[in-house]
Amino acid sequence: MLDFNFYNPTQIVFGQNRLNELDQLIPQDAKVMIVYGGGSAKRFGTIAKVVEGLGKREVVEFGGVEANPQFETLVKATDLAKSEKVDFLLAVGGGSVMDGTKFIALAMHYEKDAQDILMHGFGGVPATKATDLGCVVTLPATGSESNMGAVITFNEQKYPVMSALTFPKFSFLDPDFTKTLPKEQVANGVADAFVHVVEQYITLPINAKVQDRMSEGILQTLLEVGPVTYNDNEDIEARKNFMWSATTALNGFIGVGVAHDWATHMIGHEMTASYGIAHGRTLAIILPYLLRERKDKKREKLLQYAERVWNLKEGTVDEKIDKAIDKTEEFFNSLDIVTNLTHYGIDDKGIDQIVGNMEKMGLTALSETQDLGLDIVKKILISAK
Ligand code: NZQ
Ligand code: ZN
C-alpha cells in the first residue's frame, strides 16, 4: 500500500425526514443562499421543505444551474451571493448543483478573475477562503456531496476544480428526495458510482486489502441494488443502499494508498462536452472497451475483479477476465444504457474531434501508469463504435 493522508470533514445526515436538523447545522444568524438546478427540486417540493427546515433565517434563492454547470451561470450566482452578503450556501440537487455551489463558494472570495479557478486541474485551486456550504442530495451519483471536487463547463470544455475548502460541511442523504428521478438518471447514477470504484480498484496490485474489499463490496452492492432501484421506485431499502454506495465510491476512502486510472472519466468528459451525453452514460459506454484494450496492463486486478466481484471460478485466466468485462457491459445494458458510439451519433469525425479536444486539454498521458496516450484513446473509441 502507498503512503497517504486521509481527510474528509463532511458530516453525513442519512435517512428520511431529517431536514429539521438543518437548524442545528447552520449558524442561527446566517443568511443562506439555496442553489438549485432546472427546477425539479422546486417542482417536487424539496425546496419548500428545505426553507421550512431553515426556520427564521434569511433566505435567497438561485435557480437555473444546468446539468454540466456552466461558468457563466455560476458567475451570475456568485454576483447575487455577494450583493446579498450571503454567508452560507445550500445546494439542493445532483452533482451539477453541488459542483456549481462549490465554485460559487470559491468565486465569492477569489482575488483573481473567476476564470482562473478553472485553470488548476487536479493540482488544486490556490484559494485561501471559501463560503461554507452544505448539500441536500437529490441524485446519488457523483459523490460530490462528500468530496472536494467539482467539474465546471466553460467554452464547451469540462474543467476539474479541486479545493479542500469546498468539502461540504454536511450533506443530507434522504432517499425520498430521489424518488422523482427519471429512470435514466438512476441508470446514469449507478453507472457513475460503479465506474468511480473501478477506476480506483482495477489498476495496479498494491496489496491494499481494506480498499480492495471495500471496493468489491460497493461494486457488489451496486450490482444488487442498482437494477432494483432502476425498476422499482418504492424499494426504499435498495435506494438507501444505492445512495450510500454512490457517496462511498468517491468520498476518498477507497482511493487512499492505491493507484488511480481516471482515463474513462477523461474520455467521457469530452463526450459530454461535445455531444451532451449524460456523464454516467459516457462512462458506461467507454469502460468495457477500455478494460478490453488494457487487459494486459490490468491483468491481476481484472482477475481479482472477475473472481471476487463476479464469482467467476471456472476457466482460464483469460476466460474469466473476458467474461467479467462482458458481464460488466451487460450490466450497463440491463439498465438500458446502449454501449456503442454510433447509437449516440458519434462517427469517425466525432472520434477525431474528441481526441483533438483531449489534446487541447493536455489529456495525453492517462491511466495508472500514464502511458495511455491519444493513439490508445482513439483505438478505444474506434472499438466502441
Ligand atoms: O436540474 P434539475 O431540474 O434539478 O434536473 C436534474 C438534471 O436535469 C435532474 N434531477 C436531479 N435530481 C432529481 C432530478 N430530477 C427529478 N428528481 C430528482 N430528485 O437530473 C438531471 C441531471 O442532474 P445532474 O446534477 O447534472 O446529474 P449528476 O448528479 O449525474 O451530476 C453530473 C455532473 O457531476 C459532474 C459531472 O461532470 C457532471 O457535470 N461530476 C462531478 C464529480 C465530483 N464533484 O466529484 C465527479 C463525477 O465524476 C462527475 O464528473
Ligand atoms: Zn463520474
pLDDT at site 105 = 98
**C-beta 339 within 6 A of ligand 1:** no
**C-beta 141 within 6 A of ligand 1:** yes
pLDDT at site 233 = 84
Helix (H, G, I), strand (E, B) or coil at 120: helix
**C-beta 73 within 6 A of ligand 1:** no
Q: Catalogue the E-assigned strands of the chain.
A: 11-14, 32-36, 59-62, 88-93, 133-137, 149-154, 157-162, 170-173
For residue 311, is it left (φ>0), alpha (ψ between -120 and 50) or beta?
Answer: left
If you measure from the C-alpha of residue 72 to the centroid of ligand 1, how many angstroms do you get, rounded to a whole number? Answer: 18
pLDDT at site 353 = 96
The neighbour count for residue 22, using CB atoms within 10 Å, is: 23
Residues whose CB is under 5 A from ligand 2 (ion)? 192
The whole model's pTM is what?
0.98
Could you give all domains of the chain from N- to C-terminal order, each with its CATH number?
A: 11-177 (3.40.50.1970), 183-383 (1.20.1090.10)
Q: Determine contact, residues 174/18, Cβ cutoff 8 Å.
A: yes
Query: Distance (Å, rounded) from C-alpha 131 to C-alpha 99?
Result: 14
The preferred substitution site among 96, 151, 188, 190 for testing ligand 1, maximizing ligand atoms within 8 Å of CB, is 96
pLDDT at site 377 = 98
> What residues in the chain have per-residue pLDDT under 70?
none
**DSSP letter, residue 307:** I
If you measure from the C-alpha of residue 23 to the centroid of ligand 1, how many angstroms do you get, rounded to a whole number? Answer: 26
Give the ligand whose atoms come closest to the C-alpha of residue 183.
Answer: 1
Query: Distance (Å, rounded) from C-alpha 352 to C-alpha 370?
Result: 21
**C-beta 171 within 6 A of ligand 1:** no
Query: Distance (Å, rounded) from C-alpha 15 to C-alpha 333?
Result: 30
Q: Determine contact, residues 65/80, Cβ cutoff 8 Å.
A: no
Q: How is residue 301 written as a grid cell? A: 486486478
